[in-house]
């Protein structure tokens, strides 16, 4: 990609524009596919997907790797953070526009530097997270509840979706079935509408949807051979000095690692006050656990604000580890509470 991306940039006349469509820094299935979908469906020229992680971290996302193998898109052709950094001088000669999908406030140093140092501007937003009320002139600016952000993207580009081939349809369907457990949970009207757009392309029935959901979930849950550091960065988002790693394993599973010392080095590496692990797993019923590590005083202060609203029941497994009484509360619900706490602390 490195060569190719710099090649593309070279072909862009100076002062002309390139649009980078970027998902959030967890770079989960929804973010990656939403960025690809927006880029592919947009009728403007030079609209390219930017995956908001280093290239080497992509392989940790085994569900996405699996999906890409079934598509005609080569992972080598995607742009990652390293590609941006190595093409920085060329980018500086170009006008960079940003479209945010699956988040609505720029995430990570590279994207923020594109804005602060190269004057990149956010020209479009399509998202299903809490509205941070930024970039109010962006167009489109669609922030709406949906199971999957890709549903909002597909509905925005309805006419173009009518022209895609079955392979793209299968790619675009993937976040939808992952985020809604096969169209069973957290399904909004916009998700149903998106499915209606894709079904004629796929000629799929209920059995196909279920099989594809299972195949993707199996790939996603395959953590074989991953180190704790891999698990920490596999599905990771940072909120100023608080990092939240989501994992599809239980806290018990993590006991095979040297958990606390590894968290210490993670905190140093990411320069965090608090590292949070959120687990989700099934054993007859669906569980979520949450665990905090870092500055004890800050953790206590944070817990003061969030333990009650999140319904956290203390566990004996590790210091500051809890079972979530309301397993519906994922990082999407926890993050705004963390942000409120950070605001109140002036951090
Ligand atoms: Mn999403």
Q: Can you give the CATH number for the domain in which 300 is found?
A: 3.10.310.20
Does residue 207 sit in the same domain as residue 314? no
**Residue 276 in contact with residue 290, Cβ under 8 Å?**
yes
Ion ligand 1 residues within 5 Å by Cβ: 30, 102, 149
Percent of the chain with pLDDT over 70: 98
pLDDT score for 2: 46
Does residue 204 sit in the same domain as residue 296? no
Inform me whether the pLDDT recorded for 245 exceeds 70. yes
- From the CA of 137, how far away is ligand 1's center (Å)? 22
- From the CA of 100, how far away is ligand 1's center (Å)? 12
Starting at the edge strand found earlier in the chain, the sheet holding 236-239 runs 236-239, 242-247, 274-283, 285-294, 321-324, 312-315
- From the CA of 175, how far away is ligand 1's center (Å)? 8
pLDDT score for 13: 65
Q: Which of 62-66, 165-169, 181-185, 315-319 has the lowest mean pLDDT?
A: 181-185
Does residue 210 sit in the same domain as residue 270? no
Inform me whether the pLDDT recorded for 11 exceeds 80. no
Identify the domain containing residue 335 by its residue range: 228-345
Q: What is the rounded average pLDDT of the residues 202-229?
A: 92
Looking at 184, 199, 219, which one is the last position of a domain?
A: 219
Does residue 241 sit in the same domain as residue 325? yes
Does residue 190 sit in the same domain as residue 123? yes
Inform me whether the pLDDT recorded for 1 exceeds 50. no
Q: How confident is the model at residue 264 (pLDDT cuts 50, 70, 90)?
A: very high
- From the CA of 30, how far away is ligand 1's center (Å)? 5
pLDDT score for 3: 55
CB-based burial, 130-166: b 16+ in 10 Å, e otherwise: eeeeebeebeebbbeebbbbbbbbbbbbeeebeebee
Q: What is the rounded average pLDDT of the residues 9-21?
A: 80
Does residue 205 sit in the same domain as residue 300? no
Does residue 292 sit in the same domain as residue 251? yes
pLDDT score for 10: 74
Does residue 179 sit in the same domain as residue 52? yes
Does residue 132 sit in the same domain as residue 84? yes
Inform me whether the pLDDT recorded for 236 exceeds 90. yes
In 3D space, the residue among 337, 259, 266, 321 whose CA is nearest the CA of residue 288 turns out to be: 321
- From the CA of 13, how far away is ligand 1's center (Å)? 34
pLDDT score for 289: 98
In 3D space, the residue among 239, 183, 40 whose CA is nearest the CA of residue 278 turns out to be: 239
Looking at 201, 219, 237, which one is the last position of a domain?
A: 219
- From the CA of 14, how far away is ligand 1's center (Å)? 35
Does residue 99 sit in the same domain as residue 244? no
Q: What is the rounded average pLDDT of the residues 59-80?
A: 94
Looking at 186, 219, 252, which one is the last position of a domain?
A: 219
Q: How confident is the model at residue 234 (pLDDT cuts 50, 70, 90)?
A: very high
Inform me whether the pLDDT recorded for 24 exceeds 90. yes
Q: How confident is the model at residue 222 (pLDDT cuts 50, 70, 90)?
A: very high
Q: What is the rounded average pLDDT of the residues 121-146?
A: 97
Inform me whether the pLDDT recorded for 67 exceeds 90. yes
Does residue 33 sit in the same domain as residue 154? yes
Question: What is the C-alpha to C-alpha distance for residues 247 and 187, in angstroms, rounded to an integer?
Answer: 22
- From the CA of 90, how far away is ligand 1's center (Å)? 31
Inform me whether the pLDDT recorded for 14 exceeds 70. no
- From the CA of 202, how far away is ligand 1's center (Å)? 23
Q: What is the CATH number of the domain that holds 40?
A: 3.90.1640.10
Q: How many domains does the chain have?
A: 2
DSSP conformational letter for 58: G
Residues 157-209 have pLDDT tens digits of 999 999 999 999 999 999 999 999 899 989 999 999 999 999 999 988 888 99
Residues 97-124 have pLDDT tens digits of 999 999 999 999 999 999 999 999 999 9
- From the CA of 338, how far away is ligand 1's center (Å)? 18
- From the CA of 340, how far away is ligand 1's center (Å)? 21
Strand partners, 96: 18
Percent of the chain with pLDDT over 90: 89
- From the CA of 172, how far away is ligand 1's center (Å)? 13
Q: 256 in helix, strand or coil?
A: coil
Does residue 146 sit in the same domain as residue 233? no
- From the CA of 31, how far away is ligand 1's center (Å)? 6
How much is the mean pLDDT over the chain? Answer: 94
Q: What is the rounded average pLDDT of the residues 221-250?
A: 95
- From the CA of 12, how far away is ligand 1's center (Å)? 31
- From the CA of 294, how far away is ligand 1's center (Å)? 28
């Amino acid at each position: 990609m490195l060569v190719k991306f710099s090649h593309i940039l070279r072909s862009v006349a100076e002062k002309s524009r390139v649009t980078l469509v970027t998902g959030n820094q967890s770079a989960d299935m929804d973010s990656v596919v939403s960025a690809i979908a927006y880029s592919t469906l947009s009728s403007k020229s030079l609209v390219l997907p930017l995956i908001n992680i280093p290239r080497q971290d992509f392989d940790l996302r085994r569900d996405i790797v699996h999906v890409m193998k079934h598509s005609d898109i080569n992972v080598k052709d995607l742009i990652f953070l390293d590609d941006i950094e190595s093409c920085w001088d060329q980018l500086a000669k170009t006008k960079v526009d940003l479209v945010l999908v699956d988040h609505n406030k720029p995430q990570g140093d590279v994207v923020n530097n594109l804005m602060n140092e190269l004057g990149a501007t956010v020209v479009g937003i399509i998202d299903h997270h809490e509205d941070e009320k930024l970039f109010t002139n962006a167009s489109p600016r669609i922030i709406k509840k949906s199971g999957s952000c890709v549903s909002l993207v597909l509905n925005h580009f309805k006419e173009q979706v009518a022209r895609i081939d079955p392979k793209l349809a299968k790619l675009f369907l993937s976040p939808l079935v992952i985020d809604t457990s096969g169209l069973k949970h957290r399904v909004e009207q916009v998700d149903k509408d998106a499915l209606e757009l894709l079904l004629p392309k796929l000629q799929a029935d209920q059995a196909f949807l279920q099989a594809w959901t299972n195949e993707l979930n199996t790939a996603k849950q395959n953590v074989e051979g991953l180190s704790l550091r891999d698990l920490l960065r596999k599905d990771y988002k940072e909120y100023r000095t608080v990092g939240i790693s989501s994992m599809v394993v239980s806290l018990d599973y993590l006991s095979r690692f040297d958990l606390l010392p590894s968290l210490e080095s993670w905190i140093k590496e990411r320069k965090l006050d608090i590292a949070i692990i959120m687990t989700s797993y099934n054993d007859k019923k669906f569980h979520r656990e949450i665990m905090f590590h870092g500055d004890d005083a800050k953790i206590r202060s944070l817990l003061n604000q969030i333990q009650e609203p999140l319904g956290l029941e203390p566990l004996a497994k590790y210091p500051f580890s809890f079972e979530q009484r309301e397993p519906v509360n994922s990082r999407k619900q926890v993050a705004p509470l963390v942000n409120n706490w950070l605001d109140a602390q002036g951090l």
